[in-house]
Structure 1
């Protein structure tokens, strides 16, 4: 049944979440079997498909061969797929076969035929192209669903792929494991600050590449090299609506033939934006100032308490020293009195002997 524009838009707005384990498995698969060659590797994707979101949590490699000269000649081991699917089903029943992947880096002519083959395992298979050797900064995955495209001129429908956004997201346990794995291969000589700056620079480079692709697509549409796709234009309009509109085109001259109005930018929007930004910065400044005053007050209180504690300790030590001195003097007096009494007794005993 041909897909309507609503179905195509629904597929294009789906969110495909790919776990890092799938990327590591695909990279390992490519490194073991096709590294240094122009061949691509093919594997099966496992996970959950809830309709609106698709979660790819696991994968396994599949024996695959194709003729480089004739794309229509290829081989995929069906028995291996079925045996591995049954084995993974025994391990985790929640992970189902939801699609397949290959190392691309772009779509191939035989992808539609391979996708039709995977329909025997799942009604609407997902295709994820994993770029194991990315040359540009960004997400190394591209997700697609196959649909029957209805042409505007009313001709026969054709089978094609619809791109859907994909993100890399890990669960908590998997994130800890991947972090430990990356920590082993990370350069310890590079500091944390340089790592953060490098990651931010790579993110900005990826954003620049995406904006460049958007500009190239719009230019091709203007040059009538590509047909107008209202779904893509709608998504771009949603992106542009998120940007602050600080200026408007200049006003047009008066129709009555009078002097043209002065060209003015929308200063009200710019002023409103500035006021809002200043209010936010003022709140941040006040909170920082209050935090600093509170910390300074705590510091003074701590110093006062420490000084009082020190004075109490010194007073206690002085009292203990005075008490010890008094005890020592009392002991000496007691010893002197005892010695005097003993001498008097000895003096009284001597006359009796005479």
Structure 2
């Protein structure tokens, strides 16, 4: 059989280069939905809203939970509720579109492929965001995935989730709240003065780093200046010496 006639297994990526950025509002909203979940629900899932830039970066700005029921071999989503919530959100923020979905828990589960398949019909290349509200690693781990298709010839056999780079974009005030959310236990919530103190400590540390950087730059410039003067003096002395020999 010729080489071109062989049938091989192939992984087809859903996107060549994809990364994600998530805003803290999304994380806070997911944690709040998890706390308010029905007693029988083990996890919460929902829709992610945002935009996709030209360089393939998915900006996740908003989210909402979607009621669901799941067992070991099937998952049922309230699709009508999902579409109604999407329409309501887009009335307020028409530029926000579906960019993927989220679930609470550490990593993907058996039912994740079924849910991802649904969102793949809603939007190309959806991002799957997982938030570990169970603190199984000692803190709330947040990860993002995309799906890769396993093909045998022209047949799609299965889907595989692969982690993609994820950045948390937040201002300093939001970071204080996020640091509290992602830890398992805290002694007490910081008041305004304590929050300001923590922010000032970080600011002083940044100023100290900038001072050291500027000091190093000044030292390097001084060395370059002295080297330049030395070269100029040597060149001048060489020319004067040559002129004296001619005379």
Query: Which residue does the alignment assign to 1:47?
Result: 50
Cα shift at 1:14:
1.8
Query: Which residue does the alignment assign to 1:323?
Result: none
Residue 106 of structure 1: SS of its match in structure 2?
coil
- The 3 A distance-change label for structure 1 pair 92 and 285 is closer
Q: Aligned to 2:66, which of 43, 62, 67?
A: 62
Q: Which runs of 5+ in 2 are unaligned?
A: 1-7, 181-187, 203-212, 223-247
**Larger radius of gyration, structure 1 or 2?**
1
Distance in 2, matches of 1:100 and 1:193, equals 33
Structure number with higher strand proportion: 2
Residue 36 of structure 2: SS of its match in structure 1?
helix
Query: Which residue does the alignment assign to 1:192?
Result: 198
Structure number with higher helix proportion: 1
**Retained in 1: the 8 A contact 2:131–2:140?**
no
Instruction: Write out aligned runs for 1:1-354 (5 A).
Output: 8=13, 11=16, 13-33=17-37, 39-50=42-53, 52-67=56-71, 71-136=72-137, 140-150=141-151, 157-170=157-170, 175=171, 178=174, 185-186=189-190, 192=198, 283=216, 286=219
TM-score, length of structure 2 as denominator length: 0.63
Cα shift at 1:140:
2.6
Distance in 2, matches of 1:163 and 1:75, equals 25
Distance in 2, matches of 1:189 and 1:135, equals 29
- The 3 A distance-change label for structure 1 pair 88 and 127 is same
Higher relative contact order (CA 8 A, sep 6+): 2
- The 3 A distance-change label for structure 1 pair 72 and 195 is farther
Cα shift at 1:28:
0.5
Residue 133 of structure 1: SS of its match in structure 2?
coil
Distance in 2, matches of 1:189 and 1:90, equals 39
Cα shift at 1:282:
8.1
Distance in 2, matches of 1:106 and 1:180, equals 25
TM-score, length of structure 1 as denominator length: 0.46
- The 3 A distance-change label for structure 1 pair 91 and 193 is closer
Residue 43 of structure 2: SS of its match in structure 1?
coil
Cα shift at 1:75:
1.9
- The 3 A distance-change label for structure 1 pair 194 and 121 is same
Query: Which residue does the alignment assign to 1:227?
Result: none
How far does the alpha carbon of each residue in 1:65-87 deviate from its partner, in whole angstroms, 9 at most, with x for none? 222xxx21322100000001111
Distance in 2, matches of 1:61 and 1:111, equals 15
- The 3 A distance-change label for structure 1 pair 85 and 73 is same
Residue 106 of structure 2: SS of its match in structure 1?
coil
Cα shift at 1:126:
1.4
